[in-house]
Structure 1
Amino acid sequence: MPASILFSGHMIDKPDRAEPRFPPELVWVVRQRIHTAIASFVNSIPRDRILGFASGACGGDILFHEECRACGIDTVIVLPFPPEVFIQSSVELTKSDQGHWGRRFRKLWRETPEARREVMDLPHGDDAYARCNERLIGRARAHGQMHLIALWDGKRGGGHGGTADMVANADHEGTLDVFSPQSLKSRL
């Protein structure tokens, strides 16, 4: 039976974020934790039967795509806006892109077959992210049994379409693996 790994997670904190949620110094331990979550599927389901689903924001989404591909799992990227607009709103959040998120996003986008890239071309706003989440859920569910991995601090976000909404709306029929960046601090 085919399986879907649906991912939703926090973006890297902007330098001026008042309450840290996913500070850049946690990228390596978050990457390792995402890898562990993905690897559990590779051990029980043939790789060619698994497909990963996520958007493409800096932080969790990009790490998820990179780790799926490192494990030999193809992924689907769904964006609410055209890539260059999305990069401005959700990838390159500061003038100094220290994580090279823009370069990494563009590489993932280029290497993803056209049939596995979707641009919804929605008007900008929180509703666009909520609709993007709905599309990701629908595509993941259509592929096979859906498992959700969420990099989430357990708090409501600033608007619709964030990780809290994905966790609440995904109604997964498989496993649910939720962890926060802050919970991984001890692994530094």
Structure 2
Amino acid sequence: MVVAIAALALFVGATQATIHKVGHISQGLCPNITEKQDFDPVPYLGRWFELERYEMIFEYGMDCVNALYSDLGEGYVEVHNTARLKDGTPTDIVGKAHVIAPGVLSVEFPGHIPAEYHVLDTDYENFSSVYNCLQEGIYRVEFAWVLSRTMTLEDGIYSRAQQAFVDNSIDLTIFQTTYQGDDCPYV
């Protein structure tokens, strides 16, 4: 994946649409972030709806994105992501995750290199602010999500979710809203 990111970084002069398909690529260093130090995976289990994200290749054109986390035992969690493709077709992928440091999970899907999932903040009942950044030379590739237990968030709770990114010097202006609605094919 690092090789692919390095190759893609060479094309920073390419169209903005291409860049957003990969993840948010920009010059600069990944921020020094602070994860939720008392993160507990047990109350994190259950369904999360994606409300906002940085656009990235593996979610390009998707809406109705949500994840269901279930206990697999022995410290592992099943990650079942579902979404709707641009053509209306439902899609899903199942992987697993485990905590590797406070607020940091290693997430692995079949056929993919494991990735880190940094929980910056969560109250477990309403929101979760999640981030990852990969450094390749002078370029960084960022991934970020605002997740919710419901299809919407009250303003005060949404502000708290955003504050986790602000506190970690992560750009809020890059977020794109993910459509969630009654017509979504939730599993």
User: Normalising to structure 1: TM-score of the pair?
Assistant: 0.31
Higher strand share: 2
Mark the structure with the bigger radius of gyration.
Answer: 2
